[in-house]
């Protein structure tokens, strides 16, 4: 494998160009204002008429709403992307407040359309959904009607929307700012300096055990004094969500997420039970890894310790590797990937005030997606790049075929292309990487990534269930109570194979998914297992698999996960599906030694 010299360490200077969305904050405000005018005009001509529309009239209304959605999404994405790389940007914070108010106004102005639509008799609605003029949005229209039992009167919906910025987003913003501004002094081998949480966590992949332990202790030491604030953010959000569930007659705290993912409650529970029944796969690996490391027992900070040092991979080489892997699968996909870099739609340099982690923002159906990374020149950063580009190609292909209404899939399905992209990269690296230590690191890294995604994310969904149950029982979610719930679930996941340090009781405190999108985490487990099944199918079918996969990318939210994955022979109601994915983890375990 030919290495490419990086232009600088840690993706220095790799920032995105948000002027492609809007030129500045003033332009974003103007775009929002214009979108609100369009909302008012639409309401003035359409309110009270939905029951009288024919297929052509419904199609025209949906097209008008799609135009508004694209404008609001483009302006909103500019705000969110700008804030994600500098949570201390005062102008962006003001713009976010302005945008929040605009979204509420827009939603309240347009809410009548959805309420009038779901109020139609089934016979009338079924006939309209079958009209050829709305064929592209038929699934979207059907999904709206699934929420019929959970919608309130228009005035009540407006009141809840009006309070959302203060009751929900304020707590989310406080959490985000608190975590993003964590600074802890630590010597990672290059002298003492301030580190972000993400930077400290990256050291758990180091070959130096003392460095791993010290970094993790520093993370938890820095977070501990903040846990009362972080717990209060979560407690307030959970309490608010439970009230919302009660008002909307949801059967439980996961019901809303399952509905949005188009997954049956029973199917999700069956998947999680199947996963928990195979925790022993991870336990066997952790015991084996302790032996390979010469330890009596693995400690948590040893979980991702390299067994033999794989080489570092700079940003430019990461890009080249991903391009080559995608090109091996499909030249078309490789071109989509390269456009992100060529058009400066990637921000990869870690820096103070930047949000941790990585994500791909879909932006809007009529705009191009953007990717945020925190590239620290580790081998795992290459996989993260592929993961986010997998999201990017999904958004790109879907935008070409779907409308603004059918552009997005549910969270669970949305994670499939990103996880599959990682597996495409893994397959390429295993074929072309010459360094034995790096090959070994790749296999073991993929295995451990599977554990983190399938087992850990399922554990986190169970932790959320515990937290919601505790709050529903009238008990406040204090830092200590959350710590107890967290440790209990982790002890089941790790069994007696891994020693959990005292500081890990605060391991729940910095995870944004709990705050921003409840029960997001099980989507990762769903997607990883589904992707492993797709990966096995690709190995079996070779090039014949590719056209069907590209078609899958183009579907977005135009049909259900069951239908989309069913085209590959995956039955979500069959527990054998989940065990087939888990068998792939067993296969990796055998290769890893």
Give kind and range of the element (H or E) at residue 550.
helix 545-555
**Axis crossing angle, helix 227-248 with helix 154-164, rounded to the nearest 10:** 170
The rounded radius of gyration (Å) of the Cα atoms in the chain is 24
The Cα–Cα gap between 404 and 366 comes to 8
The Cα–Cα gap between 515 and 22 comes to 28
Q: Where are the beta strands (DSSP E) in 196-352?
A: 298-299, 346-347
In a domain, 397, yes or no: no
In a domain, 335, yes or no: no
In a domain, 398, yes or no: no
Bridge pairing between strands 346-347 and 498-499: unpaired
pLDDT of residue 8: 66
In a domain, 50, yes or no: yes
Q: Residue 93's domain is classified under what CATH number? A: 1.20.140.70
Which domain covers residue 66, as residue numbers? 20-172
The Cα–Cα gap between 23 and 17 comes to 10
Q: How many structural domains does the chain have? A: 1
Q: Which of 353, 352, 373, 376 minimizes the C-alpha distance to 361?
A: 373
Name the token pair of 516: 């921003």
In a domain, 577, yes or no: no
Beta bridge partners of 371: 346, 360
In a domain, 81, yes or no: yes
Name the token pair of 111: 């809410």
Per-residue pLDDT of the chain (593 residues; tens, 9 = 90+): 333 334 468 899 999 999 999 999 999 999 999 999 999 999 999 999 999 999 999 999 999 999 999 999 999 999 999 999 998 889 989 999 999 999 999 999 999 999 999 999 999 999 999 999 999 999 999 999 998 899 888 888 888 888 877 788 889 999 999 998 899 999 998 899 999 898 899 899 888 999 999 999 999 999 999 999 999 999 999 999 999 999 999 999 999 999 999 998 988 999 999 999 999 999 999 999 999 999 999 999 999 988 876 788 999 999 999 999 999 999 999 999 999 999 999 999 999 889 888 999 999 999 999 999 999 998 889 999 999 999 999 999 999 999 999 999 988 899 999 999 999 999 999 999 988 888 888 898 889 989 999 999 999 999 999 999 999 999 999 999 999 999 999 999 999 999 999 999 999 999 999 999 999 999 999 999 999 999 999 999 999 999 999 999 999 999 999 999 999 999 898 899 999 999 999 999 998 87
Helices (H), 249-314: 255-261, 265-276, 279-293
Q: Which of 62, 456, 530 minimizes the C-alpha distance to 286?
A: 456
pLDDT of residue 411: 86
pTM of the full structure? 0.84
pLDDT of residue 1: 34
SS3 538: helix
CB atoms within 10 A of CB 14: 19
Instruction: Please name the residues in contact with 191: beta carbons below 8 A apart, sequence gap of 6 or more.
Output: none
pLDDT of residue 328: 96
In a domain, 74, yes or no: yes
Instruction: Please name the residues in contact with 234: beta carbons below 8 A apart, sequence gap of 6 or more.
Output: 175, 467, 477, 482, 514, 515
In a domain, 73, yes or no: yes
Q: Which region, left, alpha or beta, applies to residue 17 given φ > 0 means left and ψ of -120 to 50 means alpha?
A: beta
pLDDT of residue 5: 38
SS3 80: helix
pLDDT of residue 441: 84
Q: Say if CB 42 and CB 68 are below 8 A apart.
A: yes
């Amino acid at each position: 494998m030919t290495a490419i010299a990086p232009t600088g360490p840690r993706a220095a200077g790799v920032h995105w160009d948000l002027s492609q969305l809007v030129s500045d904050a003033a332009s974003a405000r103007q775009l929002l204002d214009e979108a609100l005018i369009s909302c008012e005009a639409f309401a003035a001509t359409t309110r009270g008429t939905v029951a009288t529309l024919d297929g052509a009239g419904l199609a025209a209304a949906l097209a008008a709403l799609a135009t508004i959605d694209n404008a609001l999404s483009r302006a909103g994405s500019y705000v969110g992307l700008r804030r994600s790389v500098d949570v201390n940007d005062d102008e962006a914070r003001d713009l976010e407040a302005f945008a929040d108010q605009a979204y509420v106004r827009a939603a309240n102005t347009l809410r009548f359309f959805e309420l009038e639509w779901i109020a139609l008799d089934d016979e009338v609605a079924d006939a309209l959904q079958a009209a050829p003029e709305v064929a592209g949005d038929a699934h979207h229209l059907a999904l709206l009607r699934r929420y019929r039992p959970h919608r309130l009167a228009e005035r009540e919906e407006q009141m809840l929307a009006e309070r959302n910025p203060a009751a929900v987003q304020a707590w989310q913003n406080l959490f985000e700012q608190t975590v993003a501004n964590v600074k802890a002094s630590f010597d990672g081998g290059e002298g003492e300096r301030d580190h972000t949480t993400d930077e400290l966590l990256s050291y758990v992949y180091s070959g130096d055990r003392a460095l791993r332990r010290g970094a993790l202790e520093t993370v938890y030491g820095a977070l501990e004094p903040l846990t009362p604030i972080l717990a209060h953010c979560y407690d307030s959000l959970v309490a608010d969500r439970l009230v919302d569930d009660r008002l909307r007659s949801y059967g439980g705290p996961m019901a809303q997420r399952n509905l949005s993912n188009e997954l049956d409650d029973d199917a999700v529970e069956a998947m999680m039970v199947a996963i928990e029944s195979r925790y022993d796969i991870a336990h066997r690996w952790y015991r084996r890894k302790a032996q390979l490391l010469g330890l009596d027992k693995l400690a948590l900070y040893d979980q991702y310790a390299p067994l033999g040092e794989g080489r570092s991979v700079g940003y430019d080489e990461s890009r080249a590797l991903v391009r080559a892997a995608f090109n091996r699968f499909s030249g078309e996909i490789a071109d989509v990937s390269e456009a992100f870099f060529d058009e400066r739609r990637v921000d990869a340099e870690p820096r103070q005030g930047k949000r941790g982690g990585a994500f791909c923002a879909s932006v809007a159906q009529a705009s191009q997606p953007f990717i945020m990374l925190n590239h620290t020149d580790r081998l795992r950063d290459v996989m993260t790049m592929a993961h986010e580009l997998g999201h990017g190609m999904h958004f790109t292909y879907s935008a070409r075929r779907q409308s603004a209404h059918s552009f997005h899939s549910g969270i669970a399905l949305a994670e499939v292309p990103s996880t599959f992209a990682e597996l495409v990269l893994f397959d390429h690296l295993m074929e072309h990487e010459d360094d034995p230590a790096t090959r070994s690191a790749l296999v073991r890294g993929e295995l451990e990534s599977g554990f983190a995604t399938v087992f850990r994310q399922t554990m986190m969904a169970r932790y959320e269930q515990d937290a919601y149950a505790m709050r529903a029982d009238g008990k406040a979610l204090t830092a200590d109570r959350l710590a107890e719930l967290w440790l209990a679930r982790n002890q089941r996941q790790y069994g007696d194979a891994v020693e959990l340090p005292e500081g890990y009781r605060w391991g729940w405190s910095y995870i944004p998914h709990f705050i921003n999108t409840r029960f997001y985490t099980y989507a990762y487990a769903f997607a990883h297992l589904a992707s492993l099944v797709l990966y096995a199918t690709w190995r079996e079918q070779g090039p014949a698999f590719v056209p069907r996969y590209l078609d899958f990318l183009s579907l977005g939210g135009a049909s259900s996960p069951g239908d989309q994955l069913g085209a590959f022979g995956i039955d979500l109601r069959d527990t054998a599906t989940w065990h087939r994915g888990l068998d792939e983890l067993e296969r990796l375990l055998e290769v890893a030694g």
